[in-house]
Amino acid sequence: MQNLDSVVECYYRPGQEESQSFAGRYDFLSAEATAQVPRERWKEIQAEQDPAYRTNSVAQLGTKRTNNRTFARVSLTVTDVWKERECKRVRTHTWVQEPKGWRRQFLPVNSEHVSAAMASGDYTATAELAEEWLEQDPFSIAAYKKLLFAISRGGAGDGSRRSRDDILRAVLAINENDSTALFLSASFASNLSVGKAFLNQLSRDDCTWHSAARNVAHDHRDLKGRLQFIDSLGSLNTTLVALKLVTLSELRRHKEFLSLHAEYGVDQLTTDYLDSEDPSFAAANAALLGLGCQQAGDTGSALRWLNYAVRKDPNNRTVIQLAKELE
């Protein structure tokens, strides 16, 4: 039987400039993975990967026997590119033991189905599909993330098998250093101090840090305290700039709002931030920025935000509110 440590060293080639060939990696995919990903599609996936992406280190975190199969967790520290910024990320991949040896469990079709359900606003279907994904890949933090988002938006119903806290415990048990696990733990923490503690476990150069910081900042119910926290973070990307704009608007500091909004503008805030978020979230936040513009007297920008928000989710309550304000 293959030694998993040797297999992952061969597959990921940590610290080496040249990674395993696409063909070589394909041969290490599980039977379920190759059923979902034809060889040519796998070649395309590898070609789409940013040239700056590289694996720096790998570590095996242990195995689990479930549904008469043995799964293993592998932690990777990688250099990635997120929104045109090079950053670090800790990922967790699942491997499964098959007759020919250890194989990577990679299920993009499951991911696509869950993402499509979420994009359509069907959070009940999102939760159900995420649960199915976890049946096939019990260590998928990506599946847990979609499930958590669905539950937070009322998609699980009374028959939910897991609570928010169950999911947070589960992702940390899979890999307590995983970037997405820490992002979720900071973003969905039971209180502000816990959220800040998890944020502090993320390095500033982690790909998820700015989004996690944004969510922790948003948890400040005292608006002045929120603004003070945002300003304490130093250099801000558009994720945090957008929240600062909303906060300035809510504080009715319209002059500061207009000055900061003019510095970034609708195009940069949408391209660098909202375009990469799910439609419902993007619509709601665009509408909040539009309301800020409308209240500060910039009707032209408010209309641009409304047009953007309507394209994302015309039925969002904040979008409808903005439309009424602009009638």
pLDDT in tens, 273-308: 898 888 888 999 999 999 999 999 999 999 999 999
The yes or no reply on domain 1-105 and CATH 3.40.50.2300 is: no
Note the pLDDT of residue 154. Answer: 75
Torsion of CA 281, 286, 288, 290, to 10 degrees: -170
The amino acid present at 209, given as its one-letter code, is W
Tell me what pLDDT residue 158 has.
43
In degrees rounded to 5, what are phi and psi of residue 231?
A: -65, -25
Residue 257 has pLDDT above 70, yes or no: yes
For 54, residues 6+ apart whose C-beta sits below 8 A from its C-beta are 17, 19, 78, 79
Please give the angle made by the CA atoms of 109, 115 and 118, to the nearest 5 degrees: 145
Residue whose token pair is 């660098």: 272
| % of the chain at pLDDT higher than 90 | 70
- Give the dihedral sign, CA 286/193/138/204: positive
Quick one: pLDDT band at residue 17, thresholds 50, 70, 90?
low
Q: What is the pLDDT of residue 159?
A: 46
Evaluate whether 96 touches 102 at the Cβ level (below 8 Å): yes
Q: How far apart are CA 36 and CA 102, in angstroms?
A: 18
- What is the pLDDT, as a whole number, of residue 155? 57
Whole-number pLDDT of residue 280: 85
User: Among 15-24, 108-117, 185-194, 242-251, which is the least confidently predicted range?
Assistant: 15-24
> Alpha-carbon distance 150 to 123, whole Å?
5
Can you give the residue ranges of every domain in the chain?
Answer: 1-105, 220-325
Task: For the domain covering 220-325, report its CATH number.
Answer: 1.25.40.10
Q: What's the pTM?
A: 0.88
On average, the pLDDT of the chain sits at: 90
Cα–Cα nearest to 238, from 261, 204, 255, 256: 261
Over the stretch 153-196, which tens digit does the pLDDT of each residue have? Answer: 775 554 457 888 999 999 999 999 999 999 999 999 989 999 99
Cα gap 288→296, rounded to integer Å = 12
Q: Which of 198-202, 241-245, 275-279 has the lowest mean pLDDT?
A: 275-279
Q: What is the pLDDT of residues 53-100, one digit of tens each?
A: 788 999 999 999 988 899 999 999 998 876 667 899 999 999 999 998
